[in-house]
Every structure is written in structure tokens, then in C-alpha cells.
Amino acid sequence: MAEPEKQPISIEALKRGDRSEFARMVDAYSLHIYRLAMRMLSNPQEAEDVLQETFLKALRALPNFEGRSSLSTWLYRIAVNEALMVIRKRKPELSLSRPAEDGEEDDNGEEMQIVDWGHMPESELLSLEARRNIDQAVEKLPETLRVVFLLRDVEGLSIEETADSLGISQAAVKTRLLRARLRLRDELSNYYRERMKES
């Protein structure tokens, strides 16, 4: 979240319970939190629940907010934890701190796709069908890779902020980001190779 607000949100005003400032914070960050939750959960109702819980928890915790991390990193941390709780209900074995999750093992054994699809016209790269495929490719990533990719590449957090939001090391963020990006690239290469054959 690259500080989307025009005027910086006042932490002091938030801490003293200024409702107008809190409403401004909600408007500044709600799209980012909702988008993250939607792309982590692929379920509009669950994403809305995460959105509401995130700001309810933020409202309760604001008096104790110490500002050691930025407001946005703090909100992402709450949202990620909420979304992971939803996922854990589906998959009780999920843990972010475990080094290798299902499907997160080294990809060394897999052949890389070498298809030069980068020069296809934008109208084909971003057709409605292609967009669905891109969304599905992100959905297919294991949660531990997906959340790193979403925070870093979609929400624009730094490696340090992503690590801080997830409570994992920067080295783990870099490793997972590489794997996520390579997997997505392979998925998209498979898809665009077929489109290139058709045209």
C-alpha cells in the first residue's frame, strides 16, 4: 500500500479516538485490504468478513499502536492473520513459518517454459479470457507463496515490510517471492503458448 492518502493520516488523532480521522483511514486502506482478502480467499463473503474484522481489530488496538511499523504494514498484518484464520479452518495444517508447505518445495525438477510471449499485443495479453487465466494462476499458488506475492507485487510492500507483515525472515520472503513469480510465469507461458499456436 503505497500510502494512498493525499493527506497523511494522523496517528495522534486516531489514538485519541477522532472518528473522522478513523473514517479517513478506512477509506484510504479498505480497497487494499479487500483486494488482498479477495485474492487470498477467492470468496466475496469471506473477504468482506476479513475486511470488517481487520478494521474492528484496528479500532480496538489503536490506543496501544506504538508506531514501530507503518500504519499500512500494521493493517496488512491484521488482515493477513484474519485471512489465514479463514484458510486454517479449511486447511488446519497450514503454517506460515514452516519452511516447505505443500507444493512449495524446490521447483528444480520442473522444466522451465521457454516461450517468448512477451511481445504479444496487449489486447491479447489482457483479453477477458487472459485476465481470468491470470487470476486463476494466482489462485493456484500455495497460500504461503501467494500471500508473499500479493503483498510484494500487488500491494507494493518492500521485502522488509512484507517480512514484517508476515512475521517471517526477509530471506524467506525472497525465496518465496522467486518461487511464486517463476510458477506464475510458467502458468502464463503455458496459456499464451496455446494462444500463439491459435493465431
Partner 1 sequence: MNDPSHAHKCDHLIATISEYVDGSLSPQLCAELEKHLRECENCTVVVDTLRKTISLVQTCAEDDCLPGEVRARLFHTLDLDDFVKNDAMV
Long-range contacts of 4-11 (CB under 8 A, 24+ apart): 4/28, 4/29, 4/32, 9/71, 11/65, 11/67, 11/71
153: closest CA among 177, 170, 187, 171?
177
Looking at the Cβ atoms of 92 and 118, the one nearer to partner 1 is: 118
Q: What is the residue whose three cell numbers read 514484517?
A: 164
Contact 71, 9 (CB under 8 A): yes
Residue 57, Cβ neighbours under 10 Å: how many? 15
User: Does 34 contact partner 1 by CB under 8 A?
Assistant: yes
User: Does 110 contact partner 1 by CB under 8 A?
Assistant: no
Q: Which of 69, 70, 189, 190 binds partner 1 (CB under 8 A)?
A: 189
Q: Shortest gap between Cβ of 184 and partner 1 (angstroms)?
A: 5
Window contacting partner 1 (CB under 8 A); options: 61-69, 81-89, 94-102, 131-139: 131-139
User: Does 35 contact partner 1 by CB under 8 A?
Assistant: yes
Q: Which of 40, 75, 79, 188 binds partner 1 (CB under 8 A)?
A: 188
At CA 70, angle to CA 69 and CA 71, rounded to 5? 120
Contact 189, 115 (CB under 8 A): yes
Q: Shortest gap between Cβ of 96 and partner 1 (angstroms)?
A: 19
Residue 2, Cβ neighbours under 10 Å: how many? 8
User: Does 191 contact partner 1 by CB under 8 A?
Assistant: no
The grid coordinates of residue 186 equal: 510458467
Residue 197, Cβ neighbours under 10 Å: how many? 7
Q: Which of 88, 89, 90, 131 binds partner 1 (CB under 8 A)?
A: 131
Contact 161, 85 (CB under 8 A): no
Q: Shortest gap between Cβ of 79 and partner 1 (angstroms)?
A: 13
The contact mask relative to partner 1 for 52-91 (x = CB under 8 A, - = no) is x--xx--x--------------------------------
Task: By CB under 8 A, name the binding residues for partner 1.
Answer: 4-7, 19-20, 22-24, 26-28, 30-31, 34-35, 38-39, 48, 51-52, 55-56, 59, 108, 112, 114-118, 125-126, 130-131, 134-135, 138, 149, 153-154, 159, 174, 177-178, 181-182, 184-185, 188-189
